[in-house]
Structure 1
């Protein structure tokens, strides 16, 4: 039995460590939002066509795909902490390079370099938090990463507006967008410095045959009795696993891989990053001016922030699956209404803004944080790094397709049908969650592994 005082001390420790790790999400959020304020100025500065606009937004994601693809193998070899440090350095280089770019090609290269860092942190920050968190609080501690993402988005909207208003239109085209990207150096350096004060993942240490190094970390999290039991359970899980990618395609674990990859892709093709990347342009299409569109975009960031906090409070209380069902159902309804407003040309009133805000709120309590939580906890210990890398790579690939195709879709089939397509994807996500996704609330990572052991039943029955 653990006394109350050690429990408080341990939670303080694990929360602080998780917050530092989750700052990787802040970098993710910054890069998601910064381009939405800069793209209009860049389009004029570099004289970009619609395909190039899509490439200016989505080039970062090429780096993200590559970073996510190699994050699992590299973190398994060198450790979660070292690779997160490397990611922060890549992000800093990308931020400085994007701001100093004197040609469009130079900008693209810098964004890809920054994307490598974002791809790594998007995979490893939630993975690290899942591996260090107690089962009872794992959902909210992993979801801190998503809170950091939306905090980065929200703060960046303010920074973009402030920089945009610091000069005239000509200054915006020549200089403002450079400062928007350059400001990213600040959170990048903060993340780099703080990473030196967090421990390595105890599960990775045990995987490397270093249980003596892992035990002091687990003692600070769980107390003596539970820490020793945790070491035994983790070692046992490693003894039962091969660590090979082929293990993911065996009966049982194949369902875990399908759940992880499918949720990762569905998170993106339901349209959230299209809205986040192009929010000012969407609001301009309703008749709002540039400044008004940026202000409305701040409302999007505020709603995203507040409802992510609500999700963190709810995720370990009501569970992952319930939040996914409520959120995706609501997203579908909102997207249908938004599409209808554009299709009928009735966009002059407040309805588009209201339902975009409701859509963002629905995403923020469901697909936003919950997908990262589920991805970080459903895979076995020995192959968790590689498996999450596969799911993250799928997520970024889907993000690339959406961000690259969104401007041409708007100009060809129109915003109405585009949003209806996203609504159809939300409906598919609802059905998939209902039929396939298991509930993992309150289970240790080792207990979740048992959901996938071949026993003649599927995880749906165990949810």
Structure 2
């Protein structure tokens, strides 16, 4: 019998689907916004205006983690996820009919706030709703829905009008809101945190396929963990040995994740393939990348509990470094006059290899590890803090990637990304704690050891 927790997590993960349509939206839509035939504006967009359309979304994500992380502790994980879904619906409707550039700026910023909140609250929701032995697979499943959202943008975006595509995304977001409202469950951890023990037991009876005795045991375990955790503030992260370790590991994993170049790849896929000299059109290459990302994410859910988190991060870091080094070298040689026409397959093959290795580790596994590193009483605050720092990096990459690639070439950008991926692999080898199959309490004991 399938646990009802899987149903709740799956319904919540559809919010991740909407989240990633926002991240990938610029790839098919930005070329139309600057096209005089399709553009809703009455003037041509400058390069700076184009970059701000891409950058306002990650700028908004800086505020999202703190805002919705706070709400998740006061109103519950489920209620907060529902609140996050509301601006997603409104922003897509605004983008469908807006005729002024500043309305797109506002919409992208508000969408970013929602995305930042979801990246904070959803991993906590999954971790708290899952059994220890299922937590890895369910956490990684979030990446599958990310990829489905990305693929929808690549497949439908280039071939639908701006109005039709954004209305479609708004309708999807509204449908997911209703489904999660009906089938989603609040986490037992939140109820116990609020001294609502009867509600916590009712949730466990609903979501678990185990017997009464196992449920009572899990309930007592959650009570014990939460009741023995003291109230904390953000500064306590730096005053505790275990929390300092958790903070260092989480912070650097998220930074390496972003400097790997993933946001640039997803947001500017069509431009990257065109600039890299691919023999296929940018639209088709982006679709291929989206399909590969989805398939590799599905495979990741199968291997998440076979290999350890640390092993997957090692493979991912060094694999991304190699694939981006090849792509960067190819593009650099092409832009500097070397005849590479016989190797025109290299851009698409390299980016496929990059996407596969990213999805096997630094994509979903990083969020899994971050959600497991902190105890319940500070998890929301710590995750929000780290996600906000991560989003600062994402903003700068989104804003200045087009400028840097125009000035120095796409090849130099990917060689720099490659170096940071290699550094991320080394960091994983020397510093990352293995969390596979361990309870949240065991992880805290090791961090404090």
TM-score by length of 1: 0.90
Counting only pairs closer than 5 Å after superposition, residues 395-410 of structure 1 correspond to structure 2 as 395-410=390-405
CA distance in 1 between partners of 2:19 and 2:254 (Å): 16
Q: C-alpha displacement at 1:247, in angstroms?
A: 2.3
2:189 aligned with 1:206? no
1:322-362 Cα shifts (integer Å, max 9, x gaps): 11101111100011111101110056411111101111111
262, 265, 270: which one aligns with 1:275: 265
Which runs of 4 or more aligned residues in structure 1 lie more than 4 Å from their structure 2 counterparts after TM superposition? Answer: none
2:186 aligned with 1:186? no
Q: C-alpha displacement at 1:240, in angstroms?
A: 2.7
Change (3 A) 1:347 1:201: farther
166, 178, 181: which one aligns with 1:196: 181
CA distance in 2 between partners of 1:41 and 1:96 (Å): 17
Q: C-alpha displacement at 1:449, in angstroms?
A: 2.0
Which residue does 2:78 correspond to in 1?
81
Gaps of 5+ in 2: none
Q: Contact conserved, 2:326 with 2:350, CA < 8 A, in 1?
A: yes
2:244 aligned with 1:246? no
1:56-75 Cα shifts (integer Å, max 9, x gaps): 11211122221112221111
218, 223, 245: which one aligns with 2:211: 223
320, 328, 336: which one aligns with 2:325: 336
Which residue does 2:415 correspond to in 1?
420
2:340 aligned with 1:350? no
CA distance in 2 between partners of 1:263 and 1:240 (Å): 29
2:293 aligned with 1:304? yes
Q: C-alpha displacement at 1:257, in angstroms?
A: 1.0
273, 279, 284: which one aligns with 1:295: 284
Q: C-alpha displacement at 1:140, in angstroms?
A: 0.9
CA distance in 2 between partners of 1:140 and 1:267 (Å): 20
Count residues with an aligned counterpart.
432
CA distance in 2 between partners of 1:286 and 1:318 (Å): 34
Which residue does 1:116 correspond to in 2?
113
Q: C-alpha displacement at 1:287, in angstroms?
A: 4.3
Gaps of 5+ in 1: 1-7, 164-175, 456-463
Which residue does 2:155 correspond to in 1?
158
CA distance in 2 between partners of 1:419 and 1:286 (Å): 11
Which residue does 2:305 correspond to in 1?
316
TM-score by length of 2: 0.93
Q: Contact conserved, 1:126 with 1:143, CA < 8 A, in 2?
A: no
Q: C-alpha displacement at 1:214, in angstroms?
A: 0.7
What root-mean-square deviation, in Å, do the aligned CA atoms of Structure 1 and Structure 2 show? 1.6
CA distance in 1 between partners of 2:158 and 2:202 (Å): 46
1:73-131 Cα shifts (integer Å, max 9, x gaps): 11101111111111111110111112222111111001112222222222111210110
Q: Contact conserved, 1:95 with 1:111, CA < 8 A, in 2?
A: no
SS in structure 2 opposite 1:383? helix
2:256 aligned with 1:266? yes
CA distance in 2 between partners of 1:63 and 1:190 (Å): 24
CA distance in 1 between partners of 2:445 and 2:49 (Å): 48
Q: C-alpha displacement at 1:9, in angstroms?
A: 3.8
Q: C-alpha displacement at 1:177, in angstroms?
A: 2.9
Q: C-alpha displacement at 1:288, in angstroms?
A: 5.6
Q: C-alpha displacement at 1:42, in angstroms?
A: 1.2
Q: Contact conserved, 1:90 with 1:117, CA < 8 A, in 2?
A: yes
